Chains A and B, each alone.
Chain A
Amino acid sequence: MNLRKAIKKNLLFLDGGMGTMLQKKGLGAGELPEMWNITHAEEVTAIHLAYLQAGANAITTNTFGANALHYDDKTLKEVIDKGIALAKGAVKKKGKGYVLFDIGPCGRLLKPYGELDFEEAVELFSRTVRLVKNRVDGFLIETMNDSYETKAAVLAVKENSKLPLLVTNVYGADGKLMTGATVETMVTLLEGLGVDALGMNCSLGSAQMAALIPEFVKYSRLPVIAQPNAGLPKEEDGKTVYGESAEVFSDNLLACVQAGARIVGGCCGTTPAYIAKVAKKCGEYQKSGRKKKKQDMGRSDEGKTPCDERKFARVCSYSQTLRLGEKPVMIGERINPTGKKKLKAALERGDESYILEEALSQEENGADALDVNTGVPGLNEAEALVRTMEGVQSVTSLPLQLDSSDPVALEKAARRYNGKPLVNSVSGKTSVMKEIFPIVKKYGGVVVGLLLDEKGIPPTAEGRVKIAEKILKTGKKYGLGKEDFLFDPLAMAVSADPNGAKVTLETVSALAERGYFTCLGVSNVSFGLPNRELITSVFLAEALDRGLSAAIVNPSSVEVRKTWKSFLALNGQDKDFSGYISFASSVTSSKEEKAISPLSSEEQTLKGAIEKGMKERARELASRLVKEKSAIEIIDGEIIPALDFVGKGFEEKRVFLPQLLMSAEAAKEAFSVVRGSFSGSAEGEKCTVLLATVKGDIHDIGKNIVKALLENYSFRVVDLGKDVPPEEIVREAKERKAAVVGLSALMTTTLPAMAETVSLLNKVCPNVKVVVGGAVLTQEYAERIGADAYAKDAMATVRYCEEIYGERQGEKE
């Protein structure tokens, strides 16, 4: 029986700790365990055999760290070849058993927390998988504590092999991965990626793991794996001991199996003695269960319980899961340039902060997921979508909806997305389905199915439902099911067709009756009408009442939120009315607060509020001032003097860094109000300053502070981030026509990269001024490497840029 069938039918017993056994046989600390496949073949074989004899029916190769970060090409091939041969040899001796090729984490953290790029990680794992050449029965990806690295490893296996794939992650006592994913999130991600079994290993002891198994079983449609440690290691009299005995361990694993786990084994601290007891106890349980009812264990409740958690469609980010079909889900529509001048301009200029502010304000206003669309003519959409998606994921853990009509952009974004995305969209057009379905199948996703096809949008509900059926039928051929779709019955402008809204709502009802999940871009309905929010929100209420699963709306609209919160409260979907109450009180309290807020005389001026670093107050006062004064008057009369005052205080050491930054942010708030009328254009901006932390350096707080201050002083700042190669800095400086390039470095080890960047800049863009700063820099060093200036702190950079700007203005006049 092949492994894929076997795990569906029977319990599978995995082996126990390999490292633990190797250490018992003399593996020293720091020695690479996989080398023993070459140097101590007999010992490794003996361990495999001991596990098989103890009752394991699947053993894992001694290849946990076999990747190109740890081995050169030749040795890597050798440890893999030998590793496979030894495991297969043991199975041959025993007469039966499966061999799983073992893949552990690569040992580096992925970006943005570490330095390894996602694609580099995929390639790293792929190199290992390609060397395996399908000589085993399956793969086990294990001990992963980052969901993103897990995704990279899974893609590497799926792209290079068709063999069964088992995946286990390391959960902490809080039931989460190190990078934040919950059990439900990992189940969502891994089911989407099409693995064959999933679960947990390492870290937790068996008792804690047994307590988490029901959580897996609740959500997972796949067999669940439990491979705990024998407790945590502890040093006693110079020896490492583990807390749990074989007896306790095996009792807990039996409890795991009784709770529904199907694949069990051990991790650190477990030995063949542990596995023997596990195999015996769980084997007996399996036999007795068979006698009682001729059903598979663990899955016997499938589809029977009315509140089966598995029936929902699910998407996730790296930490949050979104259930579709449980209660209505609000998808924020604001990150979409269609009809939004400011956003379009921000995308064109690469102004990330504007986009991220949109993301955060939607989250604040209750969005459950965010749509991300970067379709601007003339822009490389795939690049823009990936960049924007990654930017948004760095500030919010909300799941995202990747929105594009370009399949290339969708594929690139779905691949790099940290989680399982909503995908917007597919339609009933054959050619579109052919392009989109393979992407959804490969990377996982819930895809929005627009109910139109080659013939257009059917005028009736029946016609639209038929397209839904067609989409579903075609999807099935790709392995997609009902829970992979959100059908969009299409909201049309009711002003153009008085019956349009009715048909859309009828379609929502018809789809909901069939148990399909639905989604609607609600705002379209009011196109062409005055006071659009009014009619949009009533339409939204009607659609929700008919069972709409998800609405793409503007969460900032008070009317939309009124409808949303009220609907949930009226529909029994707002427990204790807490959602409604907190919304309702926020609507009234802000008015009251404004009426009675007591102010000290200092805080009554915008200048004072900025100097004090009071963000809210600065925004409020700026909003009042714009009604009385011109933008220039406010900027020159209030904001800039405040910044100068604080900046001078900082230089004179009367004001500390946090105060400086608080004022900078208060000023930013005021600016955003004052510039409101400028419609996001470059109006009022001084010259362009390009900022980067040089290659090899990841410490960029200083650079970020400089950025905040420069923006305050109306410079146009292009921030290239940290660890930026010299070539990229030079290319961008040229392309963006930067007047000044600011470089930062914090470590002595990255000073050569600083020198290299400066010299390249001087060569390629001799007119660009280069200012350098950072803890390890000095005036003398700056001169030596040919920089135009050294800035001892953030204010010094501002002063220098002002100087350069002044000179340039002088030249112009």
Chain B
Amino acid sequence: MTILTNFPDLPFSREEALRYLGYRGMSADKNLLALLEEVRQEVKAELIPAAALQEETVERKGEELTIGKIVTASRSLGRNLKDCKKAVLFGATAGVGIDRLLIRYAKISPFKEALVQAVGAVYVEAVADMVCRFIAEQNPNSDMVARFSPGYGDFPLSYQTDFFSALPLNKIGITLNSSLIMSPSKSVTAIVGLKEKV
């Protein structure tokens, strides 16, 4: 098990943030971009990124797939993990500070709330990408497949509980509520398959 808390220089993609805000192929005006940048600084100051990772072997028995604690017949995950003998389970968060901003702006400015949502989503994706890069570095002899999260395809959200028992997510501040929703809201759990380099 590995815990990561050091995420220097998280990249930020303004284009991604605009995409989350519904901009597709159309440029945003100067005023909006300035406010987006203002909000980005605010969100950045609240980031407390952290992640926990655990490597597991992938076993197959007919339709059934076993990755450590996770036992599933999900076809989409099976396809995703094709040829993978190992996989890393991880949970990552951008921190609860973003939720504080969301709650604040929900009350005083839905506009800024929307911007924080978009910026926060970009940052948590960046944290997850950094985790994947770390996994790649740790496994130079393997090829990494795209990360796969509960809720994708036919791999239901109910598998969140397995992630929470396999990883010390509470210790890094991620909790799961009774509706299987994570708090902080900007958190991600995922499986990253590893296959031998050809």
Contacts and interface: CB of A to CB of B under 8 A. Distances in A.
Interface stretch (A331-339, A576-584, A588-596, A693-701): A693-701
* Residue with the greatest number of chain B CB neighbours at <10 A, chosen from A112, A268, A750: A112
B72 interface: no
Contacts of A174: 48
A750 B179 contact: yes
Closest 7 CB pairs of A and B: A30-B165, A661-B111, A109-B183, A114-B183, A704-B110, A109-B175, A235-B2
Nearest to B32: A658
B111 A658 contact: yes
B21 A658 contact: yes
Interface in B1-56: 1-6, 21-23, 26, 28-29, 31-32, 35, 48, 53-55
A245 interface: no
A708 B105 CA distance: 12
B23 A656 contact: yes
Nearest to A172: B48
Interface in A646-661: 656-659, 661
B183 A113 contact: yes
Interface of B: 1-6, 21-23, 26, 28-29, 31-32, 35, 48, 53-55, 68-69, 95-97, 99-100, 102-104, 106-111, 113-115, 117, 138, 157, 162, 165-167, 170-171, 173, 175-181, 183-185
A194 interface: no
Interface of A: 29-30, 105, 107-109, 112-115, 143, 145, 172-174, 178-180, 202-203, 232-235, 238, 240, 268, 352-353, 356-357, 360, 391, 394-395, 612-614, 656-659, 661-662, 664-665, 696-698, 700-701, 704-705, 707-708, 747, 749-750
Given A658-B21, A749-B179, A665 B109 contact: yes
B181 to A, nearest CB: 6
A268 B3 CA distance: 12
Nearest to B89: A29
A29 B54 contact: yes
A707 B109 CA distance: 11
A698 B114 contact: no
A704 B106 contact: yes
A30 B54 CA distance: 12
Contacts of A180: 97, 100
A701 B96 contact: no
Contacts of B22: 656-658
Contacts of A179: 96, 100
A391 B103 CA distance: 10
A123 B25 CA distance: 53
Contacts of A202: 171
Given A112-B99, A113-B184, A697-B179, 7 more contacts: A173-B6, A233-B2, A357-B108, A394-B103, A394-B107, A656-B21, A704-B110
Residue of A112, A114, A664 contacting most chain B CB atoms (<10 Å): A114
B36 to A, nearest CB: 8
Contacts of A661: 110-111, 114
12 contacts: A29-B165, A29-B167, A113-B103, A114-B175, A174-B48, A178-B173, A203-B171, A235-B2, A394-B103, A656-B21, A697-B179, A708-B110
- Most A CB within 10 A of own CB, among B113, B114, B117: B114
A656 B29 CA distance: 11
A179 B114 CA distance: 22
B104 A705 contact: no
A120 to B, nearest CB: 12
A665 B54 contact: no
A367 to B, nearest CB: 16
A226 to B, nearest CB: 18
Contact of B170 (A105, A235, A612): A105
Contacts of B100: 113, 179-180
Given A391-B107, A747-B179, A750-B179, A235 B55 contact: yes
Q: Name the residue in A108, A174, A232, A704 with the highest tally of chain B Cβ atoms < 10 Å from its Cβ.
A: A704
B31 A705 contact: no
A812 B97 CA distance: 50
Nearest to A695: B179
Of B21, B100, B176, B184, chain A has the most CB atoms within 10 Å of the CB of B100
A705 B3 contact: no
A108 B108 contact: no
B111 A107 contact: no
A704 B105 CA distance: 10
Contacts of A662: 31-32, 35, 111
A658 B109 CA distance: 11
B96 A352 contact: no
Nearest to A204: B5
A701 B109 CA distance: 11
Contacts of B175: 107-109, 114
Contact of B104 (A108, A394, A700): A394
A613 B21 CA distance: 16
Contacts of A391: 107
